[in-house]
Chain A
Amino acid sequence: MHVVDRRQNPKAKSLGNRQRFLRRVKSHMRKAFADSIRQRKIADLEEGQEVSISSKDLHEPTFHHDPKVGHRDYVLPGNHDYRPGDEIEKPSGGSGSGSSGSADGDGEDSFVFALTREEFLDLFFEDLELPNLAKRKLKSMASPAWVRAGYSTDGSPQRLNKRETMRRSLARRIALGRPKLAEVEALQVELQQAITAEEADEIDRLRKLIDAQQARMRAVPYLETVDLRYSRIQRVPKPTTQAVMFCLMDTSASMTEQLKDMAKRFYMLLHLFLTRHYKSVELVFIRHTYTAQEVDEQTFFHGRETGGTVVSSALEEMLKIVKQRYPVDDWNIYAAQASDGHNFDHDMPQTLRLLEEEILPICQYYAYIEVNDDQWPGDSVLWHGYFPLVDRHDNFAQAEVATASEIFPVFRDLFDSRQRSGASTKPRGDR
C-alpha cells in the first residue's frame, strides 16, 4: 500500500467542465431571462436576481417508463399492520414509491443561479450599446478645463504665487546668511550705549560690525527674481461623463394610468441603461397638455390634467432647460417622448420644425414611444408626422408598445447596436 498526498494537486479539476457548463447555461440563461423579464417589473432590475433555469433545459434524457401508465409491483419496508388486500393511499408527488419510474435518473431539481446586480445587468445589456457613444467621446474630449498644474518661474503678474515666492526667498536668505534687520538694530542700540559710555574700543568694534552687516544686507537682497514663482494653470480636455435624460410625456386625460405605467417602465429601462455608461445621469421630467412644465417624478407619473395636446410646448420647454442648465458641450442629451399619439393638427408643423431643426441636432438619441391599446396602432397623428424623420436622422427612432411585455423587446430593438440604422420598429402585425 502506499499513501499519496494529492492535496497539492490542482484543485479545480472540473474547471473545464464548469466552463462548459456555464457556457451552455448562458444560452439558457438568456432565454430564462427574456421570459422572466416579461413578468418582472422593471423596477426590480436594480437589484441582483436569481435566474432559475428550468432543469428541462439542462436535463439529459433517458429512456424510461412513464410513471403514469401501466402496472407495477414493488416491495416497501416498514409495514405497520397492513394485511393482503388492504388499500393504501398513493404517495403524492409520484416519486415516493421507490422502484418505479426513475430507473436510475436521479430526481432533477431546477437550477437556481443567484446573479449579482452586475452580472444581471451585464446579461441584460449584453448586446446593447449607446448610439453614437464613440463619436460623442471623441467630441467631448475637446471640451477643455483649466486645472492647476504646479508652479513656473515666469508668468503674468496676476499669477504670482506669494507663498511659494516667499518660501524660496526665505530659503535663499538663510542659505546666504543675510543678517536679520533686528540683529542690526540691536547692534545699533549697543553702539549708542557705547557712545554714551565713551568706550572707544567698543565703539570702533561695533561700527565695523554694523558696516559689515549692512554691506551683506545690500549684497543679499530680501527678494530676488530667482525667488519668484507663478502658479501654473493648464488646459486639460474634460471628458463629459454625464448625461441628461429628458422624459417627455403627454399627461392629458387620454393617457391612462396603464399607458403611463408602460411609459414609466420604458423610462426606467432607459435610465438604468444610461447609468451603465455615465457617471451621472440627471433626469428631467416634462409633462405637457397644451402647455408644458417641468415637474418632479411623482407629479410626472401620478398627476393628471385635462386639456388639449400641444406637443411643441414640451419641446420648447426642453430647449429652454437645455439652454439654462445643460450646455451641449458638457452633457450628453437623451430624450424619450411617450405619448398616445395625439396632437392638434395645427401644432404639427411647429412640432416637427422644433424637433428636426433644434432638438435632434443636439440630442444623442431621441426615441418616440407610442403607447396605446388601440385596435389599429401606428395610426396616430404623431406617428405619421414623425415617420419621415426616421430615415433622415440616425439618432431618431420610433416604436410602439401595446403591452408591458413588449417594452423590453422594443427597447432592445431601439438600442440594439446591430440594427440601429433606420430604427423604426413596428413590432406589430401578427401579434
Chain B
Amino acid sequence: MNKRHGELLYSGSQWDFRLLHRVYDAVEEIALGELGLDVYRNQIEVITSEQMLDAYAAIGMPLLYRHWSFGKRFAREELLYRKGAQSLAYELVINSQPCVSYVMEENTMTMQTLVIAHAAFGHNHFFKNNHLFRQWTRADRVLDELAYAKSYIADCEQRYGFTEVESLLDSAHALMSHGVNRYATRRRSPREQQARSEARRQHLESTYNDLWRTVPTEPSDANEVRSIEQDENDIEAAALELPEENLLTFLANNAPKLKDWQREVLRIVRTLAQYFYPQRQTKMMNEGCATFVHYEIMNRLYHRGQIDEGSMLEFLHMHSAVVAQPNFDSRGFGGINPYALGFAMVRDIARICDDPDDEDRQWFPEIAGKGRSLETIRDAWEHYRDESFILQFLSPRLIREMRLFKVSDDANDEHMTVTAIHDESGYREVRRQLAAQYDISKQEPDIQISDANLKGNRRLVLTHRVRDGKLLEKSEANRILRHLAKLWGYRVRMVEVDAETKRPLSEYDAVSMP
C-alpha cells in the first residue's frame, strides 16, 4: 500500500469542477476496487451555504411540502449558524436513486474529497446494502413521492386553506413517531388487501344475526346479551386489526370523520415517517460506515501519493473533530457520539479479524484471526442495525478504551448508582445495556390503539404499556391526545398500564374540539 506512485490530484484548497471529477474517479477506484463497495449511481450537487440551510430545515430533503415547523428549523439553524455557535455540516446525502450528495461551494478541495468519500460512497453503500433500507425504503421512488407530497399538499392549501392544512399537519406531525410499522412487514399488494377485506366482510355477514336486534331480549339473560355484545366488539376489533401501533395508518383508514384529502395527507406524513425509520435505527452504523470509508480512502489516497501532506493534515484535523467522544462529565458531552462509536467499532472489527488477541478469540471465535476484514465489515453493514450490531460486535477492548460504564438512575433516589464497569464482570452487562439504548422500540413509549368503538360512543382507546415505571410526560401527552381526538373526531382515552403486572397506572381523556 505504501507505493506512492500516483501524482497529486490537486494542490491547494481551491476546487473546480474538473478537479471534482478527477477526485471522484480516484475515490471511486479505491471505493469500488479496494473496499469492494456497492453503490447507487452518484449525483453530486454543488450548493451555497444558504441552500444548505434550506436543505437542513427541510429535514435534509431536497423537496418537501411546506409547513411552518420547517421554517422554525430554518430560523433556529440560521440563528446558530450566524452566531457561530454551530458550523454547517459539510455534506448532506439523500437515500435515493441516484444518490444525491450536496457539497458546499465554501468547502476546500480536501473537504470536497472527504465529502465524496464519506457521502457518495460511505452513506451510499450503506443505503444500498443495509437490510433495513432495502426493506423499508424505495430509493428509486423517494424523489417522486416527495414531489407528489409537495404538490398534493400545495393543492390542498389552495382548496381548503392554509390554516386547515396547517392544523392537520400539526396533528399528523405530533403522531409522526408513532406513524411507523415497527415490526412485521405488512406490505400487501392491493389484491391481497382486497381479498382480506372481502374475507372480513363475509365473516361479518356470516356472524351477523338480525334477530338479536329485533327480538327484545329479556334482562333475565343479561349475561348472554353481554357476551353477544362482547362478541360483536371482538369481531369489530378483529376487523380493525387491533391492537395497532401505527396510529397514523389507523386514523387514515378508520377515523370516521376525516375527509378523503385528510386521509391522504396522513398517509403522506406516515410515508415520510417510515422513510426516516431505518435511518433512526442505523444512525450509529451508518455514520460509522461513512466515517470508516472516508478514513480508509483518504489514507489510501495519501499513501498512493495522490494527496499531499497539507491535505492530509487538514483531513485529520476534521476527522478527529468528528470522532471525538467527550467524557460523560465534560462540558461538551451530549450523549454517545454515533460517529465515534461507529467508527471505533468498525476499526475494531477489522482488528479482530486481522490481528486478534486471546480475549478476542474467546469473544469472537467466528471472526477472530480469520482475516478478510473488509468482507466481515461489509457483511455487518448489510445485516445489522445499531442494536444488534452492538450486541454482536462490541468488544471488551473497546469498552475499556472508551471506558464505558453503566449507571442506574431511579427518579426517587438522590444519586445514580454505578452498576457495571469495564471489567470482566461488567462487559456483557454494559454491552447489553448499550444495545438496548439503541433499540428504538425500547426507548420510545410503547403505545397502541387497543380498542375502537365504531358504533356506540365511538371512543378510541389507547394503551401505553409502561416499563420500569416510565410514565409519559403528562402535558405533552395531553397535547398529543388532543391532536389525536381532533383527527379521530370523538373522545379518546389512553390508559397507562404496567407492562408486567397489567396494573393501571394513569389515565388520560381527551375530547375532540370542534
State the A residues within 8 Å of B (CB).
1-7, 9, 11-14, 16-24, 58, 60-80, 82-90, 96-100, 103-104, 109, 111
Whether B328 lies near A77 (C-beta < 8 A) is: yes
Q: Which 6 A-B pairs have the closest CB atoms?
A: A78-B327, A21-B71, A70-B470, A17-B71, A70-B469, A76-B328
Min CB distance A160 to B, Å, is 67
Min CB distance A156 to B, Å, is 67
Given contacts A4-B44, A85-B418, 5 further A-B contacts (CB under 8 A): A6-B45, A18-B75, A23-B162, A60-B69, A75-B404
Whether A73 lies near B51 (C-beta < 8 A) is: no
Instruction: Point out the residues of chain A lying under 8 angstroms from B54, CB to CB.
Output: 11-14
Interchain CA distance A99-B440 in the complex, whole Å? 11
Instruction: Point out the residues of chain A lying under 8 angstroms from B453, CB to CB.
Output: none
A1-B43, A17-B57, A66-B470 known; A103 vs B444 contact (CB < 8 Å): yes
Instruction: Report which of A16, A66, A77, A80 forms a contact with B404, defined as CB distance below 8 A.
Output: A77
Closest to A56 in B: B475
Q: Is B305 an interface residue (CB 8 A)?
A: no
Interchain CA distance A297-B90 in the complex, whole Å? 60
Whether A75 lies near B406 (C-beta < 8 A) is: yes
A7-B105, A72-B409, A78-B327 known; A14 vs B74 contact (CB < 8 Å): yes
Interchain CA distance A18-B54 in the complex, whole Å? 10
Closest to A19 in B: B71
A63-B477, A74-B406 known; A7 vs B418 contact (CB < 8 Å): no
Whether A69 lies near B471 (C-beta < 8 A) is: yes
Whether A18 lies near B74 (C-beta < 8 A) is: yes
Most chain B CB neighbours (cut-off 10 Å) among A62, A88, A89, A96: A62
Q: Is B410 an interface residue (CB 8 A)?
A: yes
User: What 1/0 mask marks residues of chain B from 51 to 62 whose CB sits below 8 Å from any chain A CB?
Assistant: 101110110000
In chain B, residues 146-190, which have Cβ atoms closer than 8 Å to a Cβ of chain A?
Answer: 162, 166, 170, 173-174, 176-178
Most chain B CB neighbours (cut-off 10 Å) among A24, A89, A96: A24
Instruction: Point out the residues of chain A lying under 8 angstroms from B436, CB to CB.
Output: 73
Instruction: Report which of B42, B43, B333, B420 forms a contact with A84, defined as CB distance below 8 A.
Output: B420
Instruction: Point out the residues of chain A lying under 8 angstroms from B312, CB to CB.
Output: none
In chain B, residues 197-216, which have Cβ atoms closer than 8 Å to a Cβ of chain A?
Answer: none
Q: Is B330 an interface residue (CB 8 A)?
A: yes
Instruction: Point out the residues of chain A lying under 8 angstroms from B320, CB to CB.
Output: none
Instruction: Point out the residues of chain A lying under 8 angstroms from B58, CB to CB.
Output: 13-14, 17
Interchain CA distance A103-B57 in the complex, whole Å? 20
Interface of B is mostly: mixed
Interchain CA distance A256-B333 in the complex, whole Å? 56
Interchain CA distance A431-B136 in the complex, whole Å? 59
Q: Is B377 an interface residue (CB 8 A)?
A: no
Instruction: Point out the residues of chain A lying under 8 angstroms from B348, CB to CB.
Output: none
Whether B403 lies near A21 (C-beta < 8 A) is: no
Q: Is B41 an interface residue (CB 8 A)?
A: yes
Whether B68 lies near A72 (C-beta < 8 A) is: no
Min CB distance A267 to B, Å, is 37
Instruction: Point out the residues of chain B lying under 8 angstroms from A104, CB to CB.
Output: 177, 280
Whether B468 lies near A71 (C-beta < 8 A) is: yes
A3-B17, A16-B66 known; A100 vs B476 contact (CB < 8 Å): no
Whether A17 lies near B74 (C-beta < 8 A) is: yes
Q: Is B309 an interface residue (CB 8 A)?
A: no
In chain B, residues 92-111, which have Cβ atoms closer than 8 Å to a Cβ of chain A?
Answer: 102, 105
State the B residues within 8 Å of A (CB).
17, 20-21, 24, 28, 41-48, 50-51, 53-55, 57-58, 66-72, 74-76, 102, 105, 120, 162, 166, 170, 173-174, 176-178, 280, 325-330, 333, 335-336, 402-411, 414-422, 425-426, 430, 433-434, 436-437, 440, 443-445, 447, 464, 466, 468-474, 476-477, 479-480, 483
A4-B45, A90-B414 known; A73 vs B405 contact (CB < 8 Å): no
Interface of A is mostly: loop
Instruction: Point out the residues of chain B lying under 8 angstroms from A80, CB to CB.
Output: 403
Interchain CA distance A5-B45 in the complex, whole Å? 6
Instruction: Point out the residues of chain A lying under 8 angstroms from B407, CB to CB.
Output: 73-76, 88
A61-B480, A71-B468, A104-B177 known; A1 vs B71 contact (CB < 8 Å): no
Whether A66 lies near B409 (C-beta < 8 A) is: no
Whether B476 lies near A61 (C-beta < 8 A) is: yes
Whether B409 lies near A90 (C-beta < 8 A) is: yes
Whether A2 lies near B43 (C-beta < 8 A) is: yes
Min CB distance B273 to A, Å, is 11
Closest to A108 in B: B76
Whether B328 lies near A60 (C-beta < 8 A) is: no
Show 7 A/B contacts (Cβ-Cβ < 8 Å), sorted by A. Answer: A13-B55, A18-B75, A20-B68, A76-B406, A84-B418, A84-B420, A98-B437
Interchain CA distance A17-B410 in the complex, whole Å? 42
Whether B421 lies near A6 (C-beta < 8 A) is: no
Interchain CA distance A22-B70 in the complex, whole Å? 11
Min CB distance A52 to B, Å, is 12
A20-B67, A74-B437, A77-B403 known; A84 vs B476 contact (CB < 8 Å): no
Interchain CA distance A78-B324 in the complex, whole Å? 12
Interchain CA distance A22-B42 in the complex, whole Å? 37
Interchain CA distance A134-B417 in the complex, whole Å? 74
A6-B47, A74-B433, A76-B328 known; A14 vs B41 contact (CB < 8 Å): no
Closest to A107 in B: B334
Instruction: Point out the residues of chain A lying under 8 angstroms from B445, CB to CB.
Output: 63-65, 103
Min CB distance B438 to A, Å, is 9
A58-B72, A69-B470 known; A76 vs B404 contact (CB < 8 Å): yes
A21-B71, A88-B415 known; A65 vs B46 contact (CB < 8 Å): no
Min CB distance B96 to A, Å, is 14
Whether A71 lies near B28 (C-beta < 8 A) is: no
A11-B48, A14-B74, A63-B177 known; A71 vs B469 contact (CB < 8 Å): yes
Instruction: Point out the residues of chain A lying under 8 angstroms from B325, CB to CB.
Output: 77-78
